[in-house]
Structure 1
Amino acid sequence: MTDPRPVRVGLQLQPQHTDYADIRRTVAAAEEAGVDVVFNWDHFFPLYGEPDGRHFECWTMLGAWAEATSRVEIGALVTCNSYRNPELLADMARTVDHISDGRLILGIGAGWFERDYDEYGYEFGTAGDRLRDLAAALPRIRARWAKLNPAPTRDIPVLVGGGGEKKTLRYTAEHATIWHGFGDVATVAHKCGVLDAHCRDIGRDPAEIERSVAVEHGPDELGPALYDAGVRLFTVGQDGQGGYDLSRLKDWLAWRDERNG
């Protein structure tokens, strides 16, 4: 698949091991630097480092970011489908869409972090259970958007995160406008091919789905090969422990600008 979209760069501010004031300052600095999207994540405890370290909730933070920013798109990478009723999540997303004047991306996945489930009283079940719940939720979210008054300001982009080839990528083909994955270049290229095949199976143009990956190294090492694999949204992850460092993000922004001409 040849994607005519320009390159975009995202920043995932992992809301752990820091104070909210530092998160707020970094969101502002990232927007000033020219980033396209700022993401957080949807967990209740740190994923690494001190397991009971400082941590903040996802969607209340997105509402604050909607007011604190004016240009960047915002979203979770990704919302756990298990934590909120699909209709409630649709309404929350519609509200943040309005607060931000149409800058929300609804990132969503099936969920995996068992401690969140156990300590907050959700049924963890099996991976199959969680995937079935995600499959049921995606059309319910869109159906609720069609009923809300006022309606969303735009067709809210839906980002599905995950690499399962039989189910997650199929749901992505059916419902998403962005796919987010992980892995080396060969893995990402393979997953993109699987997603293309699912799109063809249901009669959808694969070019309608933007391909997004998390990048842990600089653009000279990864950028051209991932671009050739079909990736157009490159997201740098930043942990708050010790303060957020935007130097690698700025390298990706410079590469984006050079690539886009």
Structure 2
Amino acid sequence: MTIRLGYQMPNFKYSTPVTELFPTVIAQIREAESAGFDTAFAVDHFYQTSTLGEPDRPMLESYTSLGALATATERIQLSVLCTGNTFRNPALLAKTVTTLDVASGGRAVLGIGAGWFELEHKQYGYEFGTFTDRFERLGEALQIITPMLRGERPTFDGKWYQVESAINEPRIRDDLPILLGGAGEKKTFALAARFADHLNINWGASELPRKLEALEARCAEVGRDRSTLETSYLAFVFIDESGDRARKLQHDFLLRVGVDLSEVSDTERAAATDRMFCGAPDEVAEQIKTRVLDKGIDGIILNLIANGHEPGIVELAGRTLRPLVDA
């Protein structure tokens, strides 16, 4: 598995009727596939998250969506950034992602995290628990999921989960990749060092040097060569052939979530845009290179929350960034 350039879809509020919603999703992913993106990511939420909009905005279920996309694409890998571990029994999740792998001809990647959005847990009736609870559950889940993806039949009797000789057939392969997503320097990075093929870091870009130092330490603690754990960064990208239009898209997006860039201080602006990359193609490329790739990150997973549904924008982003990650 290699993820150098991924495309995530966290936003489904398009100016189209619901009947045209999924065709718009398919068009984006086909455009991503043609433009050289190697992986397409759904998001595992029932509601829109507070960082992107109101909770009642449209949101598609992740694995149903990926199953449909498996039949509409040919080469691009399919994953979730990230599956909320709290939403599914781990043996069922292993079965689900393995079925996606079979349906797609070996293109699935298991992206998983501890879960964090309390509102959707509460309103859908899922136990949220404490921060410690969620990471205990994730650690146990990975001890079940990992062997099931590798063709083993695990028996596990934990605090949160129990399985007995769990069978996972059919499988195309015994090396279906595992991606962990998050930014926690102790818990998330420690689990990544133990179980993951890939770590996606979703935090402010200014913190990346410290994050990578922490990851190096967690790998050393378990005797793993850090170079064997691939990394990527989740970037919020506002790109347009017109840099001024891209900046307006960013300004309008932030205004909708309560941040007016025309009125905030330089410190507040830096904090609000620390995960954002904005401008014309050459500007975005320079920002991604200097703020992320030059820090030691292997690849980029990006979303285009403002205009990814517009024909040609995904292709523009791929054409702009693919040369950077291939360098």
TM (normalized to structure 2)?
0.73
Change (3 A) 1:174 1:6: closer
- Please give the secondary structure, in 1, of the residue aligned with 2:194: helix
Counterpart Cα distance in 2 of 1:24 and 1:130? 33
- Please give the secondary structure, in 1, of the residue aligned with 2:127: coil
Is residue 222 from structure 1 mapped to residue 288 from structure 2 by the alignment? yes
State percent identity of aligned pairs. Answer: 34
Equivalent residues of 1:11, 1:236 under 8 A apart: yes
The 5-angstrom pairing of residues 56-135 of structure 1 reads: 56-135=60-139
Equivalent residues of 2:42, 2:81 under 8 A apart: yes
Equivalent residues of 1:215, 1:236 under 8 A apart: yes
- Please give the secondary structure, in 1, of the residue aligned with 2:298: strand
Counterpart Cα distance in 1 of 2:305 and 2:311? 9
Equivalent residues of 1:182, 1:188 under 8 A apart: no
Counterpart residue number, 1:40: 42
| Aligned with residue 187 of structure 2, among 167, 173, 176 | 167
Is residue 197 from structure 1 mapped to residue 217 from structure 2 by the alignment? yes
Equivalent residues of 2:42, 2:62 under 8 A apart: yes
- Which stretch of the first structure deviates more once superposed, 18-27 or 158-167? 18-27
1:202 partner letter: V
Change (3 A) 1:124 1:212: same
Residue 54 of structure 1 deviates from its aligned partner by 1.8
Counterpart Cα distance in 1 of 2:58 and 2:41? 18
- Larger RCO (CA within 8 A; separation ≥ 6): 1
Residue 184 of structure 1 deviates from its aligned partner by 3.8
- Please give the secondary structure, in 1, of the residue aligned with 2:220: helix
Equivalent residues of 2:32, 2:314 under 8 A apart: no
TM (normalized to structure 1)?
0.90
Unmatched runs of 5 consecutive residues or more in structure 1: none
Equivalent residues of 1:9, 1:234 under 8 A apart: yes
* Cα-Cα RMSD: 2.2
The 5-angstrom pairing of residues 243-258 of structure 1 reads: 243-244=309-310, 247=313, 250-257=316-323
Q: Could you give the per-residue CA deviations for residues 206-257 of structure 1, whole angstroms, max 9, x where no partner exists?
A: 1111111112312211224422322122011133789346537634543432
Counterpart Cα distance in 1 of 2:287 and 2:308? 25
2:22 partner letter: Y
- Which stretch of the first structure deviates more once superposed, 195-204 or 9-18? 9-18
Moved over 6 A (4+): none
Bigger Rg, structure 1 or 2: 2
Unmatched runs of 5 consecutive residues or more in structure 2: 15-20, 154-167, 237-276, 278-283
